[in-house]
Structure 1
Amino acid sequence: MDRRSFLKNAGIGAGAVAATGALAAPAIAQSTTDMVIVSTWPRDFPGLGISAQRLAARIGELTEGRLNVQYFAAGERVGAFDSFDEVASGNAQAYIGADYYWKGKHPAWAYFTSVPFGLTYAEMDAWIKFGGGQELWDELADGFGLQNFAAGNTGVQMGGWFNKEIETADDLKGLKMRIPGLGGDVMAKLGASPVSLPGGQIYENLVSGAIDATEWVGPWNDYFMKFYEAAKYYYYPGMHEPGSQLAFGCNKSWLMKLSKTDQQIIKAACMEENAVQMAETNANNGIYLDKLINEHGVELKKFSDEIYDSFGEASESVFEEVVAHSDLAKRTHESFAKSRSEIGRWMLLADTGYTEQRNRVLGITV
């Protein structure tokens, strides 16, 4: 699929070039530092890809060219799943991606993207900033020579695309489904065969029948993937990624050599994009859900309580295995679970309590 038109329409590519060309003479004259950023997302891809490109351009803009940023989408310099090693080794200076891709290196990485029955965007933001999440993330990343920052979020994801109806948990048995992270481990507990694929390879595998189902993000991102051409049943809500935190992972040794100002600029740019991407996703998901249903005949389905209960039982089994892995994994899970309970109780009273009543009074339904 040709996605280059999306970036052109958004004006991002032109904006980045214009920003470079508009640097004042003194800024150009000062010394510059090369910064290679690799990504797990396809170039010009709506949502995830454009967010990554926007962040890379913003870092160059805010540093007034002191950082000579070169951005490479998935497959342009290294494969999507090779981004971590490329940065940890020092061959590149940063990656933009989802840290649950690295759970094979340490299961605690999954918590800093999203885990089954995990945190929503608001809850994740609170845990990272005020619940000890960033400190645990720092400890984990430091063991690999990295420094990581929150740099985007896609909110509560859809449960996925299926080529058949899922009426009971037994319908998941034998299903080949693209689903990474601990969510994939949950599906494996229920008899499915989880497959980990980068975004650019999902469509071809779904159309060919190599996989029977896939999760991705939500209506806005999924619309452009054209999954509806191979699977008509679109399930919600996703238990696997209720607030998918995206990451900007820096080579720590390189980062610490920068001026304090440029270190803070990188952090600030990540914080800005973290908020912008979530707002952009929320603004578009409802629009594109209508398009999927009305223009392409997609059938919106809700997982039954029985299926969700099965998800819950399987997730507890997965968490037991994670906690047994190491002290850091145990402390990460305990911190996450504490925030999930404390913040979740407040969200139930405040956000959930209010939106349920508001939608009831106004007649807002799915």
Structure 2
Amino acid sequence: MERRSFLKKTGVGIAAGAVAAPAIAQGLPEIQWRLASSFPKSLDTIYGAAEVFQARVAAATGGKFQIRVFAGGEIVPAFSVMDAVKDGTVECGHTASYYFFGKDPAFALDTAVPFGLNAREFNAWFMHGGGKELLREFFATYNIMNFPMGNTGAQMGGWFRKEIKSVKDLDGLKFRVGGFAGKVMSKLGTVPQQIPGGDIYPSLEKGTIDAAEWVGPYDDEKLGFQKVAQFYYYPGWWEGGPSLSLYINQDKWKSLPDEYKAIVEAAAAEANVDMMAKYDAKNPDSLKRLVAGGAKLRPFPRDVMDACYKAAQEVYAETTAASPAFKKIYEHMVKFRDDQNLWHSVSEGNFDRFMQTRKR
């Protein structure tokens, strides 16, 4: 009888605990925020990171903290997300920081710069290499708290109407390319165009631009670029591992209870990992379909890669001379990148090259 009584009491205790556990937010305020995305709903992976984030925040707070996600253009234009968060028009946003390169080149370092970090290296630099402290110091001047919230991995080089056989083929080319890369390519005669994701296809179809890059096979297939451009180039040397960011207005962030801050940080981290995993899972089949459908897969010629690398170093020299914020963050990042390249050349790089050779 004593044993039955004990089990009964214990079972009651467990049941009570099971009911109470999800009520972590008991006694905490009900909050409703709006999140402005820079991306269209049709791109379920890159736009979807914000949905993963808001769903996790709601679940972890028992529905007390609700964040409504709006696609690019629904509240503010895609390239106005930073200003909207800074000014408090919305509480938070999901975007690529290099869209705001024109305001300050240091923004690009929060996403990707030519011949910069890959996805793993960016996460390592941000989380354990000092990048977080440097970027947070910079973003504080814009009244923003930033968190990594998604990465696409190394991107493709884009879709071209004509084959790129040498550097001279870049001269005069009207190319939709984001952020810092446009400044690099302009040194080779390319005319960079910054166009939101949802507007790229019609621009390419109408001939307003000659070429366009977006992300990679999964998104590119969805956007239908293969219908209006034939040549599909790789790699996207300007985006070795572009990080997407969650922006939160500093005043709104400071007003959150500590429990909600912890939940927001954890939810952003989950969405960060989830996006990369989705792209890695989905890109291979999409690439197969694109090639089977007639896309002509091409590597950029070596002379093009070498010329772009040289042009990038010239732009870095000019930018570090003109922007103290960029110089401080960039020089720190480059040292971290060089150490990572050394390490990966010994271990993972050799493993990957061996496995790729075996497959071929």
Q: CA deviation at 1:106?
A: 1.1
- Cα distance in 2, alignment partners of residues 77 and 318 from structure 1: 35
Aligned-partner residue type, residue 317 of structure 1? E
**Which stretch of structure 1 is more off in the superposition, 324-333 or 192-201?**
324-333
1:308 corresponds to 2:279? no
| Secondary structure of 1:234's aligned partner | strand
- Tell me the residue number matched to 1:20: none
- Cα distance in 1, alignment partners of residues 242 and 161 from structure 2: 24
Matching of residues 1-366 of structure 1 within 5 Å? 31-294=29-292, 296-360=293-357, 362=358, 364-365=359-360
| Secondary structure of 1:301's aligned partner | strand
TM-score (norm 2): 0.91
| Secondary structure of 2:39's aligned partner | coil
**Mapped contact 2:25–2:61 kept (Cα < 8 A):** no
Q: CA deviation at 1:320?
A: 1.2
| Secondary structure of 2:156's aligned partner | coil
| Secondary structure of 2:355's aligned partner | helix
**Mapped contact 1:153–1:277 kept (Cα < 8 A):** yes
- Tell me the residue number matched to 1:11: none
RMSD across aligned C-alpha pairs, in angstroms?
A: 1.6
TM-score (norm 1): 0.90
**Mapped contact 1:28–1:65 kept (Cα < 8 A):** no
- Cα distance in 2, alignment partners of residues 25 and 351 from structure 1: 44
Long gaps (5+) in structure 1 = 1-23
Q: CA deviation at 1:196?
A: 0.3
**Mapped contact 1:248–1:270 kept (Cα < 8 A):** yes
| Secondary structure of 2:82's aligned partner | helix
Q: Residues 227 and 44 (structure 1 numbering): CA distance in 2 closer, same or farther, change over 3 Å?
A: closer
Q: CA deviation at 1:66?
A: 2.4
The superposition leaves residues 164-209 of structure 1 with CA deviations (integer Å, 9 ceiling, x where unpaired) of: 0001011000000100111111111110000001101000100000
Q: CA deviation at 1:52?
A: 2.2
Q: Residues 142 and 359 (structure 1 numbering): CA distance in 2 closer, same or farther, change over 3 Å?
A: same
- Cα distance in 1, alignment partners of residues 91 and 59 from structure 2: 17
Aligned-partner residue type, residue 329 of structure 1? F
Q: CA deviation at 1:63?
A: 2.2
Aligned-partner residue type, residue 233 of structure 2? Y
Q: Residues 164 and 329 (structure 1 numbering): CA distance in 2 closer, same or farther, change over 3 Å?
A: same
| Secondary structure of 1:191's aligned partner | coil
- Tell me the residue number matched to 1:15: none
- Cα distance in 2, alignment partners of residues 59 and 314 from structure 1: 43
| Secondary structure of 1:96's aligned partner | strand
Structure whose alpha-carbon radius of gyration is higher:
2
**Mapped contact 2:106–2:326 kept (Cα < 8 A):** yes
| Secondary structure of 1:147's aligned partner | strand
| Secondary structure of 1:249's aligned partner | strand
**Mapped contact 1:161–1:234 kept (Cα < 8 A):** yes
**Which stretch of structure 1 is more off in the superposition, 41-50 or 199-208?**
41-50
- Cα distance in 2, alignment partners of residues 279 and 63 from structure 1: 25
- Cα distance in 2, alignment partners of residues 28 and 265 from structure 1: 14
Aligned-partner residue type, residue 325 of structure 2? L
- Cα distance in 2, alignment partners of residues 91 and 153 from structure 1: 26
Q: CA deviation at 1:60?
A: 2.0
Aligned-partner residue type, residue 335 of structure 2? K
Aligned-partner residue type, residue 176 of structure 1? K
Percent identity for Structure 1 against Structure 2: 37
